[in-house]
Each structure stands twice: as C-alpha cells, then as structure tokens.
C-alpha cells in the first residue's frame, strides 16, 4: 500500500485540489479518501484502465520563498491560488483513460462521498516534459 511508485516518461499527471468544508478535518475524510483511492488502484490499474500510481498530500502551510517568484508591495512572496486542504496527485497513461475511469459509476459513488465533505475540488491535468533523479557517482 505504501510502496514507491515509478512514473514512466510520457504519462499525464492530474492534480486535484480538495477544499474541505469549514470544521471538516483531514481525519474526518481519511477513511472515505482511502476507500476512493483503493477503488482507483484496484479497478483502473491495468493497461486498459491506465492508472499508474498516485499520492495524497495534506497542506502543511509552508510556502518556499526561495522557490517562488513574484513579490507583492511589501516584498513578500504570495500564493495566487486557493491551496486547499489536500491534493490528490495521480499518474495515468492518458487523459482519456483518466476521464473514462472517473465517469465510471463505481468511482463516481466514492468521489461523491468525498464531495460531501468538500466546498470544492478541482482537477487540473499536466503533460510531463521532464523528469530526473540524481546521477550515481
């Protein structure tokens, strides 16, 4: 369940920002989120389904001043988007396979259960341009 994932070059990444309702905590959605992720992993993970792997992150609240560009009038770095409480990062062979899996009734059932705890979610797709790891000496 908590194994490293290998991301093949040329895949697509979907970045889903999850904004929980006021008063809802990450602990409140942990089981629902886990069930939804298992549905994806167990039902859409073959070549036909296209799912490669995924990760879930909790917003830790830190913003890198060194890795951010753009200053406001006070010289402070700023974030221009709603950061949400969680992000779900998934990797797929194609965007079309992602969309097909997410249109499936089984996925929709579990995603709607998560949605009951959310003000909003939005998912943005990215095509991979580069990847790398440190080279061995």
Q: Which two tokens stand for residue 53?
A: 């792997």
pLDDT tier, 80 (very low <50, low <70, confident <90, very high otherwise): very low
pLDDT of residue 69: 72
pLDDT of residue 136: 84
Whether residue 73 is predicted with pLDDT greater than 60 in this model: the reply is: no
DSSP conformation class of 5: -
pLDDT tier, 64 (very low <50, low <70, confident <90, very high otherwise): confident
How far is the C-alpha of 35 from the C-alpha of 110, rounded, in Å?
A: 7
Contact between residue 33 and residue 86 where contact means Cβ atoms under 8 Å apart: yes
pLDDT tier, 71 (very low <50, low <70, confident <90, very high otherwise): low
Class of domain 12-61+79-127: alpha beta
- What mean pLDDT is predicted for residues 9-13? 95
- What mean pLDDT is predicted for residues 111-127? 95
- What mean pLDDT is predicted for residues 55-73? 78
The residue ranges of every structural domain in the chain are 12-61+79-127
């Amino acid at each position: 369940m908590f194994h490293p994932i290998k991301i093949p070059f040329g895949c697509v990444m979907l970045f889903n920002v999850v904004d929980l309702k006021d008063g809802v905590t990450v602990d409140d959605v942990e089981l629902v989120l886990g069930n939804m992720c298992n549905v994806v992993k167990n039902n859409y993970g073959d070549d036909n389904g296209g799912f490669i792997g995924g990760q879930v992150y909790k917003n830790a609240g830190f913003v890198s001043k060194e890795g951010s560009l753009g200053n406001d009038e006070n010289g402070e770095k700023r974030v221009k988007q709603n950061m949400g409480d969680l992000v779900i990062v998934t990797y797929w062979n194609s965007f079309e396979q992602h969309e097909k899996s997410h249109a499936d009734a089984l996925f929709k059932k579990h995603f709607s259960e998560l949605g009951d705890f959310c003000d909003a979610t939005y998912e943005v797709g990215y095509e991979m341009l580069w990847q790398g790891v440190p080279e061995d000496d």
